[in-house]
């Protein structure tokens, strides 16, 4: 099944206690598409400027990602973000944001993209997310990510957009902020009341939780000794999650077992993402490594010797 992601394509400058990069390929759509490409055919849509060229496209093409709907804006500059992490890698300190061509982004999708069976609305303005959702009328499974900025500045639009999707990916603090409910499970239930079938609460180094109408499933993060840069981990998680669901065909989003395996694959991709800066680790990744870590995850989460299958 084809999978479309619409979101930011960016250059990032990151400093962490373990090194730095002055300019590296990033953005939600990039991290998502690279992760999802291990499971299914991926198309990516988003704007870039004159500073985005063949070298950056090659990173996506190496993984078979279709870039036909990347819009090159003549005379413009690609979205740029500079951030810094302290030893608490859960929080990024933003030092500079330059929207560039992303500031005037209006989605332009080819017919092939609008026919995608699975769609991920990455972290962009809720009105734009809803516009893309309206164009993709044939999508059987639609996921959405958001953040505190849109909760604070466009809450009504975000709630309306959430009502038109199947899966919501947000970190636990944002779910609480959106619902003004301090308890995560109760907060997730309130988001379910807005319309989606499932909520994925990202919890950083503590893992993630999946909440549906009648189920709650929690998964720890994969234990790592090397964490260099968490930028893009949440989008890599969503890419692994939705990529696996897309590979399972129609109705996968309603199967509890498939959803739990998707959670595990998402956690695996996120764990590889943070082992190096930007896209460096995921670019070098193989499917064999992914499946090997997936099996390790099953052993880690076994209860009384029974793997989570």
| Structural domains of the chain, with CATH | 2-167+223-300 (3.40.1190.20)
Distances (CA, A) of 9 to 48, 63, 72, 225: 7, 16, 11, 29
CB under 8 Å to 163, separation ≥6 — which residues? 194, 195, 196
pTM score: 0.95
C-beta atoms surrounding 128 within 10 Å? 17
pLDDT tens series, the chain, 309 aa: 789 999 999 999 999 999 999 999 999 999 999 999 999 999 999 999 999 999 999 999 999 999 999 999 999 999 999 999 998 887 788 999 999 999 999 988 999 999 999 999 999 999 999 999 999 988 999 999 999 989 999 999 999 999 999 999 999 999 999 999 999 999 999 999 999 999 999 998 889 999 998 889 999 999 998 899 999 999 999 999 999 999 997 776 677 889 999 999 999 999 999 999 999 999 999 999 999 999 999 988 876 454 555
**How many angstroms from the chain centroid is the CA of residue 305?**
32
- Our CA angle for 35, 38, 43, nearest 5°, is 70
- In the numeric block, the tokens 């309130």 are attached to 190
Integer Cα distance of 82 and 94 in angstroms: 6
Q: Residue 14 pairs with which residues in a beta bridge? A: 21, 83
**How many angstroms from the chain centroid is the CA of residue 213?**
22
């Amino acid at each position: 099944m084809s999978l479309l992601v619409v979101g930011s394509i960016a250059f990032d400058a990151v400093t962490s206690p373990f090194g730095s990069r002055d300019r590296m390929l990033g953005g939600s759509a990039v991290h998502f598409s690279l992760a999802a490409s291990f499971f299914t055919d991926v198309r990516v849509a988003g704007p870039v400027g004159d500073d985005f060229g063949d070298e950056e496209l090659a990173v996506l093409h190496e993984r078979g990602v279709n870039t036909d709907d990347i819009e090159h804006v003549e005379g413009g500059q690609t979205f740029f973000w500079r951030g810094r992490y302290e030893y608490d890698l859960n929080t990024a300190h933003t030092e500079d944001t330059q929207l560039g061509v992303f500031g005037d982004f209006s989605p332009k999708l080819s017919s092939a993209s609008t026919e995608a069976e699975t769609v991920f609305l990455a972290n962009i303005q809720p009105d734009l997310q809803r516009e893309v959702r309206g164009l993709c009328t044939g999508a059987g499974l639609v996921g959405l990510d958001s953040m505190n900025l849109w909760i604070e500045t466009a809450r009504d639009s975000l709630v309306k957009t959430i009502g038109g999707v199947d899966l919501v990916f947000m970190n636990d603090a944002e779910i609480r902020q959106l619902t003004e409910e301090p308890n995560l499970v109760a907060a997730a239930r309130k988001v379910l009341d807005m319309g989606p079938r499932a909520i994925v609460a990202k919890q950083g180094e503590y893992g993630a939780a999946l909440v549906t109408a009648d189920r709650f499933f929690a998964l720890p993060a994969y234990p790592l000794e090397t964490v260099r840069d968490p930028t893009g981990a949440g989008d890599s998680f969503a890419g692994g999650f939705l990529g696996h669901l897309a590979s399972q065909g129609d109705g996968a989003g309603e199967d509890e077992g498939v959803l739990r395996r998707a959670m595990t694959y998402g956690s695996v991709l996120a764990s590889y993402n943070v082992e190096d800066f930007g896209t460096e680790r995921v670019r070098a990744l193989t499917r064999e490594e992914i499946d090997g870590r997936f099996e390790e995850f099953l052993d880690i989460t076994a209860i009384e010797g029974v793997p989570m299958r």
